[in-house]
A and B are shown apart, each in its own frame.
Chain A
Amino acid sequence: MDTTRTKDIYTEEFLINMGPQHPSTHGVLSLELKLDGEIIRECTPHIGYLHRSMEKIAENRTYTQFIPFTDRLDYVASMNNNLGYVMAVEKLLNLEVSERAKYIRVIVAELNRIASHLIAVGTFAQDLGAFATPLFYCFREREKIIDIFDRICGNRLTYNYIRIGGVQFDLPKGIDEKIKEFIKYMRPKVDDYDNLLTYNAIFLARSKNIGVLPKDLAINYSVTGPSLRASGVKWDLRKDEPYLVYNKFEFDIPIGENGDSWDRYKIRIEEIRQSLRIVEQAIDALPGGEPAVKVGRIHKPAPSEAYFRTENPRGELGFYIVSDGSMYPYRLKIRAPSFSNLAVLPELVKGVKIADIVCVLGSFDVLMGEIDR
């Protein structure tokens, strides 16, 4: 054998930076990949590009002033963020809101969950190469929810609607018809996604058995939300630690079998259906009364602390608030679901092909706004 020639040909590991500006990283996330040919040997995420020091800002804002900042955490599910923060403050203040406010909160939170899952589904399909069509369909449906929110509170993306003591405004006249119309419109559309994507052969081939997250690993990494349920863990705070009026509604908790990327996608599709059920029941049972209890704008909770977590579209969002008796929080910690969900990524992509990291990352539906805070 001619050794002089083969000496020039060798293989070695190759470092590549995916992001921070990359269409498939869903925001400014940088993944440092160590590659062996097409196979990923090691993945190191670098986060913090969107760090706005929300927790430090909170220490200089009153409790009410911080609500708009929570909109900017998980900016595709702002209602749910408002809700999580406000519920934590109310726990700190021992404040009980009116029954009507609870129903309105459930309605807007579930509508926002649908909007958020639509983005997750659309961008996931886009990541897998279903170029533009599913994404446009999802955005078309999401637009209807945004129109509803526009009528309810005047904003389209960052709502600042759920306030300490209730909600900002009562529901406008005729909005219940509009929401019912939307539910009627949305149900067949979800079936359309099933026909178009869920059982599509190419889609299945790209996402089945990719990035399998076993049950115990998911719990150990504190993965929450749809990603946890896709691994077969039946855990949803709306059922297991019911807050607001979730215990009054009938809905199912969909769970997956394998914990692969397809399961994580499928759970979101099913959750859209369940959220539609909740909204429908809530609209029918909407009680009368005041949408908010009268509280001042300045709150001075007694020196204490409170931790409250809610089921966000991406997982469990927790707020840990420490009060020192003044009108500013002494310390506010945001436990972001995407933060823990992203931490498991390096474990899952070891040994997969570089094209599949896009699939695994997309299926977790992480959002950098709440990871970096």
Chain B
Amino acid sequence: MRPDEISGVIKTKFPQAKEEAGTNNIIVPKESLLELAQYLKNPPLAFDNLHCITAVDRKEKMELVYILYSICERHGVTLKVYLTPEDLNVASLSALWKSANWLEREVYDLFGIIFSGHPDLRRILNPYDWKGYPLRKDYSNPELIPKPRL
């Protein structure tokens, strides 16, 4: 299916999901993420592969990005969930796709986003006793030497 067809199917099924301007990315309210993910995993769209999860710290909001592909149907979609810095909680998708287990741990480790329902939410790249979330824009560490900018 073409990206615009996929977003069309999603929007008719989930009117609360919006399309990001200029792209075919789907913006989902965090309350309906799990429900939408369940719908996406099963036919007709059959997204069997949760390829990548990441986050972008936009300062006023935290943007959570899910990149999904379907190997049997040969198409892909990008989902986005906006979180406010006061409430960084979102439902875990690890029950649907097992790849989410480590990918969500990584996002938790680097951004401090809590995935509720995750079976084993520990740090993964940083040491277990690390303080702070390094990929946030406001992260600071006395040992971090700023590089002179061009």
A304 to B149, CA, bound (A): 22
Closest A-B pairs by Cβ, 7 of them: A222-B99, A333-B54, A343-B102, A48-B125, A335-B52, A51-B125, A331-B56
5 A-B pairs besides A56-B134, A240-B74, A328-B149 with CB distance below 8 A are A61-B147, A222-B97, A333-B54, A335-B52, A340-B99
Nearest chain A residue, comparing its CB with the CB of B99: A222
Q: B121 interface residue, CB < 8 Å from A?
A: no
The stretch that binds A, out of B10-18, B26-34, B43-51, B82-90, is B43-51
Contact, CB under 8 Å: B99 / A343: yes
Residues of A within 8 A of B (CB-CB), count:
39
B residues 91-147 touching A (CB-CB < 8 Å): 97-99, 101-103, 106, 110, 123-127, 134-135, 146-147
Residues of B within 8 A of A (CB-CB), count:
33
Contact, CB under 8 Å: A221 / B52: no
Contact, CB under 8 Å: B102 / A51: no
Contact, CB under 8 Å: A220 / B110: no
A48 to B106, CA, bound (A): 11
Task: Mark interface residues in A208-251 (1 if CB within 8 Å of B CB, else 0).
Answer: 00000000110111100000000001010000100000000000
A29 to B95, CA, bound (A): 26
Binding site for B on A (CB under 8 A): 47-48, 51, 53, 55-56, 60-62, 216-217, 219-222, 233, 235, 240, 298, 304, 307, 309, 316, 318, 320, 322, 327-328, 330-331, 333, 335, 339-340, 343-344, 347, 372-373
Residues of the B chain whose Cβ atoms lie less than 8 Å from the Cβ of A61: 147
Determine chain A's interface SS by DSSP, over half rule. mixed
Contact, CB under 8 Å: B57 / A335: no
Residues of the B chain whose Cβ atoms lie less than 8 Å from the Cβ of A298: 150
Q: B71 interface residue, CB < 8 Å from A?
A: yes
A55 to B111, CA, bound (A): 12
Q: B37 interface residue, CB < 8 Å from A?
A: no
Contact, CB under 8 Å: B54 / A219: no
Q: B40 interface residue, CB < 8 Å from A?
A: no
Task: Mark interface residues in B70-84 (1 if CB within 8 Å of A CB, else 0).
Answer: 010010001000000
